[in-house]
Amino acid sequence: MQQRLSPNETNPAGLAFSTGPMNSDRLIQGMAEGGDFRIIAAQTTNTVETARQLLDLAPVATDALGRALTGSLLLARLLDKNVKHQYVTLRFEGNGPLGVIIAEANVAGSARGFVANPVPQDVGLDVSRAIGRGLLTVVRGTPPAGKPYTSQITLEGGGVAQDLTRYLAGSEQIASAVLLGVLNRRDGVAAAGGIVVQGFPHASPESIDRIERRIREAPPLSTLLDKMRIEDVVATVFHGCQYKQIDSSFNVPLSYSCSCSRERALAPLALFSPDELREMIDQGGSEVVCQFCGRKYRFSGEDLLALHANPDA
């Protein structure tokens, strides 16, 4: 039994998993090779564990969504063009048993996600086969104004980190490497996080060589994350590459949080036909469940009647 990292608050052993500043989820930033490389890294253990609990995810679904959530948080920061409200949405539509997976994050450090089939029958699948082959759609935008920027690449079954690396190289013209890891234990997520390395055009061939070798030789990220905090994980992976972390006052706290509201939950109901609305009203109302956080919004017959009377509201 691995009780040390139990998310169960009634378990006194769970105290070891304190949520103090050093254990809180956070995004850190740094440079390597004298400024030839930018490095962004995230510790997302609590964020992924929250997703697992809210969405009742099986381990392979936790692994897949955890990587996607971590990736979306890293990309939201990496692709930041000084826009305060930028968000990034990753939509994986593969032919694997998990079905559609959505991970969404903003530059302020909030993330939320969704897995169409959170408990696949074959529990022994690895992440890439559980997602399968298909399409990855990446949307980034800045609500409420600004047209979202959308691009698509094929999912080739190599895993979330590889897909995101290909997306960055193709659609964003960014030479990068993405490393992601989630470590599941019987009672929850023991560790999760990721690193994205961006090479600048002025990087020397020697420094590219050193960084590539360090990435190739790095042990699986989840095993490092299990043993040390994210600052030390990055320093370990890039030892000998003049890695320097930017002042921790630039860290971004990360969390799983959903932006749903009663108003937003009601809006899609306006799309039902008057007959369908009438039927819901006759049945005494309707309930809408948020697919990202499981929150339930209950609408009475009167709420729906108002919608019925004023369909443009």
* Residues of this chain that bind Zn ion (CB under 5 A): 258, 260, 290, 292-293, 295
Residues paired with residue 312 on neighbouring β-strands, in sequence order: none
Ranges assigned E (strand) in the chain: 26-32, 37-43, 87-94, 101-106, 110-115, 134-141, 149-155, 176-185, 188-199, 244-245, 252-253, 255-256, 285-289, 296-300
Backbone angles phi, psi at 295, to 5 degrees: -65, 140
Q: Nearest distance from residue 151's CB to Zn ion, in Å?
A: 26
Q: Can you tell me the distance from the alpha carbon of 236 to that of 207, in angstroms, rounded to the nearest whole number?
A: 17
Q: Nearest distance from residue 174's CB to Zn ion, in Å?
A: 31
On the CB side of 245, how many CA atoms lie within 13 Å of its CA?
18
Q: Nearest distance from residue 296's CB to Zn ion, in Å?
A: 10
Backbone angles phi, psi at 27, to 5 degrees: -110, 130
Q: Can you tell me the distance from the alpha carbon of 81 to that of 37, in angstroms, rounded to the nearest whole number?
A: 18
Identity at 163, one-letter amino acid code: D
Picking from 6, 37, 42, the residue whose alpha carbon sits closest to that of residue 233 is: 42
Nearer of residues 136 and 265 to Zn ion, judged by Cβ: 265
Q: Can you tell me the distance from the alpha carbon of 189 to that of 93, in angstroms, rounded to the nearest whole number?
A: 24
42, 29 contact by CB (below 8 A): no
Nearer of residues 49 and 163 to Zn ion, judged by Cβ: 49
Residue 104: how many CB atoms within 10 A of its CB? 23
Give burial (CB, 10 Å; 0-12/13-18/19+) of 112: buried
Bond from prior residue into 12 cis (ω within 30 degrees of 0): no
Q: Nearest distance from residue 288's CB to Zn ion, in Å?
A: 10
Quick one: CA dihedral 141, 24, 44, 228, positive or negative?
Answer: positive
- Residue 46 token pair: 């609590």
End-to-end CA separation in angstroms for the chain? 54
Residues paired with residue 155 on neighbouring β-strands, in sequence order: 134
Q: Nearest distance from residue 222's CB to Zn ion, in Å?
A: 28
